[in-house]
Amino acid sequence: MPIKTLQIPTADGQADAFAAFPDQGAPHPGVLMYADGFGIRPVLREMAQELAGHGYYVLVPNPFHRHGPAPVFDLPEYIGEEDRHAVFGRVMPLIEAHTAERVLSDADAYLRFLTDQPEVGAGPVGVTGYCIGGLWAMRTAAAYPGQVAAVAAFHGPVGADGPDLFAKITAEVHLGHAEGDITPEALGELNRALDAAGVGHISEIYPGTVHGFTMSDTDAFSASGLKRHWEHLLPLLNRALAGG
């Protein structure tokens, strides 16, 4: 799948990004993909290309563009236990600076840019996110209910904003939780809140997984967890996005 390097105008300057999409048969349904807290790197390009291979135009912005182009700081090729503490020490200030207001300001710019691309068809879009990107995906779906028809979040703190966020979501939702991130009791509480808000959803724990399980460049990676992620994400997008 081709990859195109892009610059997206935002309220706070240009956000660097890339898009992966099929090289034939345009237009395609659009998908906004939010990276995990480690940001854009080769594994995100691989995942975007995999999704593009199923007929989608996948836009992946640098969430930390205010601090510089990706990679904002050097990452090891493989993030293992010995590197994790130091990497998180660099990442957490960027995540903390990316406030809800900044998330939504950027989301507006990203969605406008995505839907303006000649390779992207008319109609609703999907949003997917990983780790903290899962929360950003949920915030985006809540802020743009008329535009976002599908939202998926994996090993993300999706309940951090409370149930008021869910009441604004009209998209179909899939939440894939790491076993190490949430207890069955907390999952039940989350799912009851989604039900009360009228959100159509699948929200489940992926067995044998820990936080970050989709990312093959970390020691959290689970091949079975990633496979399960694709088995849910692809049908969700196919159902919700015309022509998917």
> What's the token pair of residue 113?
């840019």
Rounded to whole angstroms, the Cα distance separating 28 from 22 reads: 8
Q: How far is CA 176 from CA 3, 34, 123, 153, in A?
A: 27, 15, 26, 6
Spell out the per-residue pLDDT of the chain, length 244, in tens.
Answer: 789 999 999 999 999 999 999 998 889 999 999 999 999 999 999 999 999 999 999 999 999 999 999 999 999 999 999 999 999 999 999 999 999 999 999 999 999 999 999 999 999 999 999 999 999 999 999 999 999 999 999 999 999 999 999 999 999 999 999 999 999 999 999 999 999 999 999 999 999 999 999 999 999 999 999 999 999 999 999 999 965 4
> What's the token pair of residue 98?
């990316």
DSSP, res 218: B
The total number of structural domains that make up the chain: 1
End-to-end CA distance of the chain: 16
Write out the residue range of the structural domain in which residue 50 sits. Answer: 3-240
Q: Residue 39, SS3?
A: coil
Q: How far is CA 90 from CA 157, 216, 221, in A?
A: 19, 20, 21
How many C-beta atoms lie closer than 10 Å to residue 16's C-beta?
16
Residue type, 152: A
- Domain CATH number, residue 54: 3.40.50.1820
pTM recorded for the entire structure: 0.97
Residues 57/151, Cβ–Cβ less than 8 Å: no
